[in-house]
Structure formats: structure tokens, C-alpha cells
Structure 1
Amino acid sequence: MISKANKKNSLFITLLCFSLLSFSQNNRKEKNIIKAVDNHTESAVNLIRKTVNMNSGTMNFEGVRDVGKLYQIELDKLGFKTELTNGDAYGRAGHLIATRKGNKGPKFLMIGHLDTVFELDSPFQEYTMLNDSIMKGPGVADMKGGDVIIILAMQALYEAGLLDDMSIEIVMTGDEEKSGDPIELSKKALVDAAKRAEIALGFENGDNNPKTIVVSRRGSSDWQLKVTGNPAHSSQIFTEDIGAGAIYETSRILNAFYVQLAKEKDLTFNPGFIIGGTTLKPDEDGTGGHAFGKSNVVSQETIVRGDLRAVSLDQLIKAKETMHKIVSENYPNTKAELTFSAGAYPPLTRTDGNVKLLGYYNTVSEDLGFGSVTAVNPRNAGAADISFTSEYVDMAIDGLGLTGGGGDHTINETGDLKTVATQAKITAVLMYRLVNSKF
């Protein structure tokens, strides 16, 4: 396997050999790309309409596969080798994987997902048009619009006669909204594709602003804190034999988290659930439970659950170390245990390569007359599948999907269909320039 360092060196050496070229009205190939996008935009929008009306909540395996089959048909037409994988091993529907192998330029990984948060029991099942361009519908922005933008960009490159040179792997996962278990199997196809790629392009909707692109995303990891103390009559609290009790120890820990970590830029650690008392009966799904206790009894147990979001792997590691150290410094006669979930989303770390790729994207956007594009504040971009590429690719950006809406994950989710052609044009021209030494 080619190491990331070797891939990085070869890619940057290649790109450094290119000088910036302004977009020219006489550039026939780029004009052909733009024309091809315009030719297929109406059918692309119709595909969005059709798939938004198809329920593909993560746990509706049949619906996820049906959406994948529609996209598969479109990619088959373009000469991709496609496969709908089986997700039985991790309890999900599986993924759509499409590949084309060329002999020129960097290897691309394009990332989408087939599933939505709207399951079969959701009241939100079909789209409506709020005006001539704003579609309200389940998954229109997150992220069926982005999936179709991938297909539209590929159609444009194919029609312009430029696709054969390119090495492209498209991975549309079936469980981005609710990852399968174990996550190592759930994300294996994505990670393997990242190891083969040099540039990753994600088609989530970012912060729903067409003037921004994601160069870093915060990862997300769940944590659980369990604390025990010595139960006794409240009159004995703070004595040598009894100590402080579980609730005081828990309050010490949470306060220390806040004092020592709250000023870390882009780091959050939210305790979203807590129960404590003499005896606890937490629900199996971790979202509720029952606690018994009295005001005159020293508490014996507490459980706290929360999440930790960091903007880089280094920040994540340091935060966990700090939290573990705080937990180990117990009040008298108490014990505390902090655990982090195995099924975590890693952060997409901001790198020089990601920033450089954003610069190329911005140049294309300006050259095509769509204006400048800047980086999203990572506090406004949650975890996403592209984060699993962070350790492997040299350059990665996300947020290339359908934008201009809002209300993600709610019955008010919207997207601006006018951005479909814009995003596809920038994507296709960017890929053409990267492959053909136009930077």
C-alpha cells in the first residue's frame, strides 16, 4: 500500500508544477462541461423529487436500497462499475459503491449517503415546493440533493468526453445518520476507499450557505461517567468512614471539566443526562431511567451521559486525557469511571492540504462567476462520513451538496434547487482542472 506520506509528496509535487490559470471564455472543454450540466439539470431535479418521496430512513433497509438502485442505474450509464453491498454484518442496508479507473491525475473519492433521519413512522414523507426553487422535503438537503449533484457532475464530465481519464470512487453509505455496529465494519468500505484516494470530496450540505465550504469538521464521541460512594445517613457525610458521596463527587468532576476545558476553541463536552441517588435503574437504551433516594441519605450512585466534540485528533486526545485525569482525583471514599464509546465519528482535521483544495475550489467558483467561497466555522458543521478519510487523504473538503435551505433533521428541512447546477458546475470544472494540470 502506498503510504499517505508518499501520496502526499507526489500529489503536492505535481500540483506545485502548475501555475494558476484564469478561466477563459475560449476554454472549449470547460464550456462543454457547463453546457452539459445545463442539459441535464432538469432531469437531475426530477431525480431529487423522485428520491425525496422515497422513504429511506436508516432502518428502512428496503427504502435505502431502492434509492441506491436508482442512483446505481444513473452511474451505470456513465461507465462506472457499481455495487450495492450487503450490510448484514453491521445491521444496516449496505452501501452503493461506484468506480472508474483512469490513468491521469489524482485519485478522487466522492462521498454521499442514501439514508435520512426520517423513518417510516415520520409524518414527513413527501416534498412540497415553497416557491419556484425552495423544496421542503425529507432528506432534500441531507443529502439526496448532494447525491444527485455527484451524478450530475459525472454526467457533465462524461458528455464533455473527459471522464475516461479520471480515477474516481464514489461511496454513498447507507448508514450515515445512524451508523451500523460495529462501526469498523460499517465504515470499512469508506476507509478502504480513502486509503486508495488522494482527494476526498464530500457532498453534505455544510452550513447551508453556498458561499462556504467545510475544511474541518468536529468529531463526535459519546461518554459515560459512573460514580459510586458510601451510602449512609446524611448526618455522617464528610466523615472519615463515609466521605462525600456520589453526587458531590459527580459535581466535582463536571465542574472541573468546565473549568479546565471550556475555553478550548471549538471543543464541547455536554453532559446531557444524569441520574443519582441510593439506587438506580437506568433504561437499556440510555435515554432515561429511575433513581431512588432521600434527602437524608448520602448518595451511593450516579450516572452521567454526554458527548465530546473536537475539531482535530490532537484536540480529542488531549481532551480525553484531561477528563480522565480529573476523574481520577476522587473525593474521599468515592470512585469514578469514565468510558468513551467505541462507535465514534473522528474529526476532519483542518490541514494545509484541505485549505489548499478550498483555494482551488474558490478559484473555480470565482472564474465561473459564482463569487468567492470561504471556510465554514467548524462549530457550524457536525460530524459526517468524510471525517473517516482524515488520516488517509492529502486533501479533503465537504459541503459541496445542495445548499441554501435549513431545518436539517426536522420536518422543516429545505434546499434551494437553484444550487444544484451551480454546485455541479464547480465540482466538475474543479476535477477537470486537477486532472489536467490547470492549477
Structure 2
Amino acid sequence: MKPCVLALALLSALSAGAAGAQQLSPIEERIVAEVKARSPAAIGLLERSVNINSGTMNHAGVREVGQLFRRELDQLGFKTSWIDMPPAMQRAGHLLATRAGKQGKRLLLLGHLDTVFELDSPVQKWQRQGDRVSGQGVSDMKGGNVVVIEALRALHRVGALDNTSIAVMFTGDEEDAGDPKDISRRDMVALAKNSDIALAFEGTVLDQDGRATATVGRRSSSGFALEVKGKQGHSSGIFGERAGYGAVYEAARILDGFRQHVIEPDLTFNPGVILGGTQVGYDELGSRGTAFGKTNVIANAVTVKGDLRYLDTVQRDRAHEKMRAIVAQHLPGTSASIAFEESYPPMAVTPGNLQVLALYSKASQDAGLGAIAAVPAGLRGAGDIQFVAPYVDSLDGIGATGSGAHSPAEDLELASIERAAIRTAILIYRLTR
């Protein structure tokens, strides 16, 4: 039986086995009531966090959001600390909160404080429209952070956090993880190795029928850098034997070759920035570039920066081979090279991940919130969970429900905070008994 078929069969068996299990216990009903009683205050906490710009490179803003959530975790009896990164890495650091106990599973809860909206972003902050709200990072993933806080708060209020082992890490650079990653994710990996289950609170994706899903697998993320050279000369000579085709035409040929010959299911490659002309420069740290050229001069240089996402290393190696072959087919008068850089490892779909999903789905069903299905791995981007998934059973995508992530239209369904916090609180309660 193929691994994917085995995984689906196991999930069906687990779901069927859970169907006849207990409904909410009296203490679980109290937990739900605590979450619901806090719903207006939870929205207020979300609003305060969204109104603080915390683009990855706005280190002061990231720390300010971290301090906001740190105060909440302090009140819940967690031991909190701020993990600084080396200055050369140009990252704000991470918030860590821990409780030490001996009861039940050891849990690691993951969120992130940063957003893609930097300090100079024109995107508005908190804007409420009825039952939805838009704003910087409202669903990716300040909403997920609030879900964590409110679930833990409900458990704290009924005394269910006593003697549990729970670590909470909110990273400050998930949207642009600092390099080297063996340093920026070192503490997270160490926590995972001392945990039994990891839960991450990126946004919940709805299926085509509007039902909630969760993530048991995610594609890897890597980058590619394409450098193209041509012969600078008078534009009237373009296409000629002496002048050749120039760097811009060669870059266009290569990228279109990728589009025509490299595409396959669950594989994507995105040229996110392209600079061409007679003088080009790219600032890696700031993700910004400059280009100079004239319409009557053949461009002699093009720089392309992009990402490449894949399900496994076999698919990665196949894509690399095809892309290198396309790059090597130079137009006259040009040359080009491509380099690849690894970023996020894959999160494989494992029996352990599927078992955590089954338990989460059962918690949701018992609370009257419906079953939770697995979202196809190819539909999710990269996330912090992928650094810990090789070491611990993992589940992601259990935060709030929104749309338009990373765009000016990013928004959130406010009621999803309460739903996700209820599911999470019940799951944590059951895992830590």
C-alpha cells in the first residue's frame, strides 16, 4: 500500500474509532464557557496586536507585540523569556513561555509575531466591517496567537494547566527566517526534541464546502537566483550576430522555459523580483533592488530572485535538473547561471500527524463545531512547523480563519477566534490528562 493511501486509511480508522467516544465532560463544558465569556476581550487583544506594526525588519515593533503577549502568558503562570538573535542576523528574536509538569503529553505551541507588512507599508491597520476585520497580520498570524492565549487562559481558569508541560514559542521572523537557520531555529528544534506533540496556529483553511481543515503536511521552501549576462551595445544591433539577444531576452526565454517544461503537481516556482538593464543591484537583506538602462542600449545584466516549493527531495532534484538544463540553452551572445538555496524542510504526512488530527477533529465534533479534515499538503506554503516536524508528531493550520494573507485584503472572520480557541483548549486538556 502506498504511503499516502496508508495515511488516509489510518485517518479513516481513527475517525471511525473516535465517533462513538465521549462528548464533553463537565470540566470541558466549563472550559468552553470560559472561552466564550472572554470572546469580546479576545477581540480587543487582537486589535491591540494588529495596531502595532511588526514587519519582520521592524525589530522594535516585533518586540512590542512580543511584550503584549508576554504579559498575557505571565498572568497564566508561564515562565517567560526573550531569546535574542546575534546582531549580525538582523532579526528581533523570539518569545518563549514554558510550564514544567509531569502530567500527560509534553506540548509545543507555535506562533509568530512578525508580519509581511513592514513599517512603510500602506496597508491599513485594524478596520472592522461587521463580523470581519482587516489589518496587518490579522490572520497571518496574530489571530492564531490570540487563539493560543485564549485557549490557555480558559484552561488556567479551571485549573487544568497545573502540572502540565507546555512550551509556547512565538517567533519574530517566521515570514523571513533569519540565516543561518540552524541558529534562528535552534531553540525551537531543541524544544521539539523535548516534546511529544507540536501544534502550530497558522490560519485555518476552509474546504470547498466551507468546512475547517488542518495541516498534516507542508511543502518545502527553497530559493533560486538566476544571473543572466548579455553584450551591451546599441539597440539597433539587437538580434544581430555580433550583438546577440541581450540579457533581458535571455531571461525571458529561461523563465518561459520553466513555465512550459518544469510545472508538475504540487511543484511551484515564483520569480518574485526581476531587475534588468546595464546596471543592476539587489539588496538581499532588504529585498530591494535598483536597475538602470536606456531604451537605445542592449541590456547586459538581469537578476532574478524567486522561490521553489516541493513535496519531497525527489521532486526537488527533478526540478533542479530540468531548470539547469533550460538555463544552459543560451541565446546567441548571452550566458546565464542558476543557484539554489534551501530554506524550509518538508513536513511529511505521517501516521503520528494523522493521529493528532483525529484527536483534534474529535475535540471539534464533541464541541459541536464539526469534523476537521486534512488540507492537501500542496495547498499550504512553508511554516515554522516544518523545522520541528522531523522530530515530533505535528499539526498546523489550527488558528483563526481568514483570507487574503500577505495582501492588502488580508482579513479575518472574528467568530473563528472563539471556535479555534475552543477546539484547541479541549485538545490540550485531553492531551495533558
TM-score between both structures, scaled by the size of structure 1: 0.80
Residue identity opposite 1:79 in structure 2: G
Instruction: Say if 2:415 is the partner of 1:418.
Output: yes
Residue identity opposite 2:219 in structure 1: R
What runs of 5+ residues in structure 1 fail to find an aligned partner? 1-11
- 1:432 is matched with 429
- 1:340 is matched with 340
Alpha-carbon distance change, 316 to 391 in structure 1, aligned in 2, over 3 angstroms: farther
Alpha-carbon distance change, 206 to 227 in structure 1, aligned in 2, over 3 angstroms: same
Instruction: Say if 2:265 is the partner of 1:268.
Output: no
- 1:179 is matched with 177
Instruction: Say if 2:230 is the partner of 1:226.
Output: no
Counting only pairs closer than 5 Å after superposition, residues 372-387 of structure 1 correspond to structure 2 as 372-387=371-386
Alpha-carbon distance change, 254 to 365 in structure 1, aligned in 2, over 3 angstroms: same
How far did 1:334 drift?
6.1
CA distance in 2, matches of 1:134, 1:294: 51
CA distance in 2, matches of 1:252, 1:413: 34
Instruction: Say if 2:25 is the partner of 1:27.
Output: yes
How far did 1:98 drift?
0.8
The residue matched to 1:105 in structure 2 has which SS? Answer: strand
- 1:361 is matched with 360
Alpha-carbon distance change, 258 to 351 in structure 1, aligned in 2, over 3 angstroms: farther
Counting only pairs closer than 5 Å after superposition, residues 31-180 of structure 1 correspond to structure 2 as 31-89=29-87, 90-124=89-123, 126-131=125-130, 133-180=131-178
Q: Which has the higher mean CA deviation after the structures are superposed, 137-146 or 113-122?
A: 113-122
How far did 1:314 drift?
4.0
- 2:348 is matched with 349
Alpha-carbon distance change, 205 to 236 in structure 1, aligned in 2, over 3 angstroms: closer
- 2:3 is matched with none
- 1:195 is matched with 193
The residue matched to 2:344 in structure 1 has which SS? Answer: coil
How far did 1:82 drift?
0.8
Offset from partner CA, 1:155-179 (integer Å, 9 cap, x none):
2222233223432111101122233
> 8 Å contact 1:55–1:125 — kept in the other structure?
no
How far did 1:406 drift?
2.0
Alpha-carbon distance change, 246 to 429 in structure 1, aligned in 2, over 3 angstroms: same
Residue identity opposite 1:20 in structure 2: A
How far did 1:214 drift?
1.9
How far did 1:196 drift?
2.4
How far did 1:250 drift?
4.9
- 1:257 is matched with 258
The residue matched to 1:382 in structure 2 has which SS? Answer: coil
How far did 1:146 drift?
1.0
How far did 1:140 drift?
2.0
> 8 Å contact 2:204–2:400 — kept in the other structure?
no
CA distance in 1, matches of 2:121, 2:271: 28
How far did 1:256 drift?
4.5
Count of aligned pairs between the two proteins: 412
> 8 Å contact 1:282–1:290 — kept in the other structure?
no
CA distance in 2, matches of 1:313, 1:103: 38
Q: Which has the higher mean CA deviation after the structures are superposed, 375-384 or 145-154?
A: 375-384
How far did 1:116 drift?
2.2
TM-score between both structures, scaled by the size of structure 2: 0.81
Alpha-carbon distance change, 315 to 193 in structure 1, aligned in 2, over 3 angstroms: farther
Alpha-carbon distance change, 411 to 26 in structure 1, aligned in 2, over 3 angstroms: closer
Residue identity opposite 1:119 in structure 2: E
Residue identity opposite 2:159 in structure 1: G
How far did 1:305 drift?
2.9
> 8 Å contact 1:149–1:423 — kept in the other structure?
yes
- 1:289 is matched with 291
> 8 Å contact 1:207–1:381 — kept in the other structure?
no
> 8 Å contact 1:229–1:334 — kept in the other structure?
yes
CA distance in 2, matches of 1:259, 1:126: 40
The residue matched to 1:401 in structure 2 has which SS? Answer: coil
Cα RMSD for the two superposed structures: 3.4
> 8 Å contact 2:23–2:366 — kept in the other structure?
no
CA distance in 1, matches of 2:84, 2:70: 15
